[in-house]
Structure 1
Amino acid sequence: MSSLVAYEDSESEDDCLGQTEAVTPASIQTGSCGPNQEVRVCNSSEIIPSPHSFTPDPDRSVLDSHGHVLERSRSLLHPHSQPVSCFDRQSKYCRGGKAQEKHLRDTAAPLGLPETQGKISPFQTLPPTPQGFGDGLNPAKRNHTVRSGVRPYIPKRQRLATSVETVDPNYPAEQVPGNLTRESQILSDVSARIKPYLAHKPGSSGIPRKLLMTLGGHQGPVNTVQWCPVPHLSHLLLSASMDKTFKVWDGAESGRCLRVYTCHSGAVRDACWTPCGRHLLSGSFDNMAVITDVETGQQVVKLDNQFKVMCVAPHPSNPEIFLCGGHSSAVKAWDSRSCKVVKVYKAGIQQTLDILFLRDGVDFITSSDCVSRDSADRTLIAWDYQTTAKVSNQIYQERFTCPSLALHPLEESFVAQTNGDYMAVFSSQQPYRMNKRRRYEGHKVEGYSVQCEFSLDGTILASGSSTGSAHFYDYHNARILHTLRAHSQPCLCVSQHPVLPATAATCDWAGEIKVWH
């Protein structure tokens, strides 16, 4: 019988257990006895079990397992002494019991896990003991720091929440991957400039006279700009360009580009908001008509018309239906749910320039470039939507094409922009007679697709000009109210804000967009 007990690694231990730190005999000797004392064993057959070969009870925690090993070791070393737990606060052998107990709990149960995951199963390895149990004799040796290579587990929800909060708000939204940033939620924010006008009934429209901001970013001519028709989202401004993209801007406050949509391989000739304000309808020279989700930028529907699309128009009472016209003698009506053509309107024309639905979508007007030497009997054609029959093709008799149409918001009338450098007004009820006593003159068209638009109350009619100016007319007496020197290139569109008074957006052939107030 020897005075000291020597231990050797068991050959039957697991490989994973062999890499963990366990309670060594040296730590037991220095922790339980004085430096000059010897450990004697009464019977050589009573050997302290090796900590490596110890199998914990599945219902006990790692703390109970370590305590059981140490308590049995002390009982063998001091057979006449009463067993004392090493984690007892009053123990004279282990003065740092509570601190080590807390450290072992933190090591056994990773950060962010439930308490039930801190239990150890019979098939799991014992966690390494960070310090010898004898370190409690010297408080200066106690070190409860976590190893540098160990990283606490962080739940996925907490990681996502942290990533949202750490995003720089000044970073462009279109360059931030994913949809986690606050800038990506462009339909959930209400502009502080729009909010005061939402609770009140809109008053009379005014005339914009000063430049508010300039929006640059398109590399080609901007064909159209349009404010969102939903009042609380009316700070969003849509622009469609010949550079194959269309964009959504914050046109009320920051002037920042909120989203760029690149779903076309050709020039985007026309784009508009759907009545709900959550989707965009666009037509391009790549023969495609696309419905795009404003928030995510994903294509909801993409349809091939087999001709270059010049104009698109959603049905006012059935938003799933929209019309497409362009370099074809026919106008197609698509159903976005089935992605099929539901109606075809055929006419002996070369191309359709614009489409305008009349009240309730029962009838609609198409504008074409079919002009003969003697008359223009098919320049404007009225169609019955349900039967696809021509209601009238004798609406406009002068030999000028009409690049754009606009419906009055209150009265039963509409206007047509003509290449005769004037706008003509028509009745929106059969037989769609033209008012020959009222013309809106003073601007130039000169072959450009210059658009016109009414204010929300219908008192002001605005039009662009090939000279780069924006013209505002009094609708009732056809008098020019103001001429705005907006651009150096031809001004193609003037869009008046539906909520803010005396606010309008203009675009030109050089790709520049300006907001006026």
Structure 2
Amino acid sequence: MDLLKNYSDESETEDEGPKEEKDTEGNSIDKSSFSKMKSDAGEQFNVVDFFGLNDSDEESEEPPVKKTRKFQLESQKGTDSYVEVPDSNFWRNFTPQENPEDDNNLLEKTKVEKGPHAEAYQIRTQGSQVYHQTKVHPRSYQASGQVSEYVTKGHGHCNTPNDLAGQTFNRTPQSQQRFSSHTESQRQLFYVHSKIAPHLMKNNIHNRYPRQVEKELGDHTQTVNRVMWNNPPYCHLFLSASMDGTVRIWNIWTQLSPCVKVLSFHKKAVKDAVWSLDGRHTLSCSYDKTAKWIDVEKGSVLSTFQNTSFVTSCKNHPSDPNLSITGCQNGIHCWDSRSSESPCRTYTYKDSFGQVQDLLFNRDGNTFFSAGSEITQDSADRNIMAWDFRASSVLSNQIYQERYSCTRLKLHPTSGHFLAQSHGNYIAMFSVNRPYKMNKAKRFEGHKLSGYSLGFDISPDGSLVLSGDSNGKLFCYNYQSGKIIQKIPTGMDVVMDVSFNPVLPSTVVICGWNGKIQVLN
């Protein structure tokens, strides 16, 4: 009890005087002398005081605020380097950018586009300033190219798609054009798409006819003459040649704009276009009397082949990537992309065979066939002609004897035959070897051409034949029997051309007289 009476808690004493500080040797010093020691050794050491416990009674002047701090870095070579890092005072005078969605500033906000990964808005403020806003949804992307697209539009950079989730980016009209052109130039085109990759290793693909419209495109302003899928592994892309003078490259399996390239190098309507063997170039022919060899990725013309009349058909050699042929009025020219000043070969005939509607190589490239447009009243011996590619001579002009011109030629992928679309409202079959006889026992009929230059295609496994129709339907035939399997209404006025995807089992692209393009699956 005596010990408890003498016990006292120093923390509870109210009249306690100022505490004494102790130096490193344990000697007690008062607070004023401690402040003097700090001032004398000011440049020798810095005392970090987080809570202001060591502040002196005397007021001192505040040092100037430093916005950066310098840190010394040690390198492996032994040389010292310094880097300045902003401290907490760096953002003291920062003024945030004006928010266009402020209640006092917002005048109008219109949604212009909505997708599964982003929403686009156009915002007009009180000061007549227009913002283009992109808001990214918090979900993953299917392709790495889509991430870089939204990063470029949003003025930012990130390593993972999730870094963009929930963010909103504003663009003014001055920056919108600059960033849109930059986006198009940086957009990746040639890669193995996730929809194509699982089917590339399959050897036996059983094709079937499409059942529904997957996508409809309407960027062309005039008739689309030709559509064609690219070669594997880039067959997620297809081209379209139109009377508006453009060749467009499409990729419908993307969250960005499906039109990935617009090739506007012709002055007049484009009649035909094909892909190169490597799938990175296109050969297009036009009514401006030229054929152009174009690099799709760079968007530039590599060679221009000047003809004497309208160029209505073109084909690439199946084994030599530098050679191609073009058809015009009563003539066929062979071109070498390494020397485009003049054709390396010219194919002519003693009689007129009219405007060349289509050209077709056989598998080895030693022979090709041409379909002419000229039909006389008493003869039709020059409808389809066979040519020797090396010798530039005619092998046969008595292949198709009926008085109908043919608009399209297609080589069957598995058998030794080729098919021809005839204005007699049927598709005829011929042998690719001499004497190039027509199979009169089998023909694919039921669709109508009505004078249009309609196309058709054969499935990669050779089991189906798909043809366009002047009434806006897609006709599906069985190749073995020649009978109609299905008539698919498309909603178009005239189905001008058909192309079967070389990898996907039931994906087809068609084009119409009204400029529409549909992808069916």
TM-score by length of 1: 0.68
Q: Which has the higher strand share?
A: 2
Deviations for 1:46-98, whole angstroms, at most 9, x for unmatched residues?
xxxxxxxxxxxxxxxxxxxxxxxxxxxxxxxxxxxxx98946548xxxx9999
Q: Secondary structure at 2:364's aligned position in 1? A: helix
Aligned to 2:358: 354
Gaps of 5+ in 1: 1-82, 110-114, 120-141, 150-158
Q: Secondary structure at 2:406's aligned position in 1? A: coil
Q: Secondary structure at 1:395's aligned position in 2? A: coil
Aligned to 1:298: 300
1:309 deviation in Å? 1.1
**Inter-partner Cα distance in structure 2 for 1:343 and 1:454:** 30
1:201 deviation in Å? 2.5
Whose Rg is larger?
Answer: 1
Q: Secondary structure at 1:196's aligned position in 2? A: helix
Note if 1:310 corresponds to 2:348: no
Note if 1:392 corresponds to 2:396: yes
**Inter-partner Cα distance in structure 2 for 1:169 and 1:199:** 41
1:488 deviation in Å? 3.3
Aligned to 1:187: 190
Gaps of 5+ in 2: 1-39, 48-59, 74-78, 95-150, 159-163
Within 5 Å, give how 1:88-237 maps onto structure 2.
Answer: 89=46, 103=68, 105=70, 145=90, 165=158, 176-178=179-181, 184-188=187-191, 190-191=193-194, 193-230=195-232, 232-237=233-238
**Inter-partner Cα distance in structure 1 for 2:340 and 2:185:** 33
Q: Secondary structure at 1:366's aligned position in 2? A: strand
Aligned to 1:456: 460
Aligned to 1:268: 270
Identity %: 34
Checking the alignment, whether the CA contact within 8 Å between 1:365 and 1:382 is kept in structure 2 is yes
Q: Secondary structure at 1:390's aligned position in 2? A: strand
Q: Secondary structure at 1:354's aligned position in 2? A: strand
- Is the alpha carbon distance of 1:269 and 1:174 closer, same or farther for their aligned partners in structure 2, counting shifts above 3 Å? farther
Within 5 Å, give how 1:365-376 maps onto structure 2.
Answer: 365-376=369-380
**Inter-partner Cα distance in structure 1 for 2:230 and 2:170:** 24
1:100 deviation in Å? 8.9
Q: Which has the higher helix share?
A: 1
Aligned to 1:378: 382
**Inter-partner Cα distance in structure 2 for 1:174 and 1:461:** 45
**Inter-partner Cα distance in structure 2 for 1:168 and 1:233:** 33
Q: Secondary structure at 2:198's aligned position in 1? A: helix
**Inter-partner Cα distance in structure 2 for 1:404 and 1:485:** 22
- Is the alpha carbon distance of 1:370 and 1:118 closer, same or farther for their aligned partners in structure 2, counting shifts above 3 Å? same
Q: Secondary structure at 1:436's aligned position in 2? A: coil
Note if 1:473 corresponds to 2:474: no
- Flag as ranges the 4+ runs of structure 1 deviating above 3 A: 83-90, 95-106, 115-119, 142-149, 159-171, 173-183, 251-255
**Inter-partner Cα distance in structure 2 for 1:218 and 1:96:** 73
Count of residue pairs brought into register by the alignment: 396
Deviations for 1:271-313, whole angstroms, at most 9, x for unmatched residues?
1111111111111111121122222212222222232111110
Note if 1:248 corresponds to 2:249: yes
Q: Secondary structure at 1:269's aligned position in 2? A: strand
**Inter-partner Cα distance in structure 2 for 1:213 and 1:104:** 57
Deviations for 1:373-400, whole angstroms, at most 9, x for unmatched residues?
1111111110000010001111111110
Question: What is the alpha-carbon root mean square deviation over aligned residues?
Answer: 3.8
- Is the alpha carbon distance of 1:354 and 1:145 closer, same or farther for their aligned partners in structure 2, counting shifts above 3 Å? closer
Deviations for 1:117-174, whole angstroms, at most 9, x for unmatched residues?
979xxxxxxxxxxxxxxxxxxxxxx99649979xxxxxxxxx9997555899999x99
1:195 deviation in Å? 2.7
- Is the alpha carbon distance of 1:182 and 1:349 closer, same or farther for their aligned partners in structure 2, counting shifts above 3 Å? closer
**Inter-partner Cα distance in structure 2 for 1:209 and 1:369:** 34
